[in-house]
Amino acid sequence: MIDGLLLVDKPTGPTSHDAVAVVRRLLGERRVGHAGTLDPGASGLLVVLVGRATRLARFVTILPKRYAGTIRFGAETASDDADGAVTLSDESWRGLDAGAVRGALAAVAARTEQVPPAVSAKQVGGERAYRLARRGEAVDLKPAAVVVRRLEARRIALPEVDVEVECSSGTYVRALARDVGRALGTRAHLGALRRTAIGPWDVADALALEGASPATLQAALRPLREAVAHLPAVEIGADAATRVRHGGKIEAGAVREGPVAVTASGELLAVAEYRDGLYAPLVVLVS
């Protein structure tokens, strides 16, 4: 049985699904997935989950992300990035200065909601928004809650601005680029994007799949416990471990809000949640 997580440095071009397919083929393991899609035009850190780790995807996808990107002024696109057709052009960026750009970045970062891109996986009337957009249908997306902890300029060389972004899961960096352009009374889109970190993991520690071998991937696998290291841990004894292994509830020695990682002798057994005086398993990793 092959279990664990891989930190993969995805290049521009392949989809996240393509990266998963490479790992599946090299490891000979059917159960492979990822925790947080990267668009084909984006590069950087992709957390790939293998074996039982796929059951932990929801606890990894919620982690905050960090990106390095380039906002390009002068045009808005259908997808809010460089892959989309230009929908609106505007040359008024030529009158901008660095102070105005930094002010717009701060203003957009302070917002608690954003309208997702029309070309996105958001559901509209039971259908993915990108499918409606590709058919030329109007896409009415509602604002979604986001948290942008940092949106700062690293380099301002108009019409391009290199930025660093730290944001919550579910935040579209290309929508941030679009909104910065609009905040300045002009148009902009995301010209390039690289994800540099997810939660505690950094792209500097990631593996390139090109030329990788089965042995390389197996050596790079990280333990299941690392996927939920950000969750509070509840250590239990042998009797309670037996109950958890069969999906049973266990008594709570200390009450913790939200999901907890349940371990016995250091082994991750489950992720559970406090309910009505007991910890109830959400995911059981052993049986």
Which residues belong to the active site? Answer: 39
SS3 content of the chain, % helix, strand, coil (to 5): 25, 35, 35
Token pair of 165, please?
């972004």
Token pair of 177, please?
């680029």
Token pair of 88, please?
């609106």
User: Got the DSSP string for 34-103?
Assistant: ESS---TT-EEEEEEEEGGGGGGHHHHHTS-EEEEEEEEETEEETTSBTTSPEEEE--GGGG--HHHHHH
- Tell me if 23 sits within 8 A of 46, measured CB to CB: no
* 91 Cα distance to chain centroid: 33
In 3D, which of 164, 242, 231 has the Cα closest to residue 197?
Answer: 164
- 75-77 and 148-157 as β-strands: parallel, antiparallel, unpaired? unpaired
In 3D, which of 14, 75, 11, 65 has the Cα closest to residue 35?
Answer: 65
- 144-145 and 127-128 as β-strands: parallel, antiparallel, unpaired? unpaired
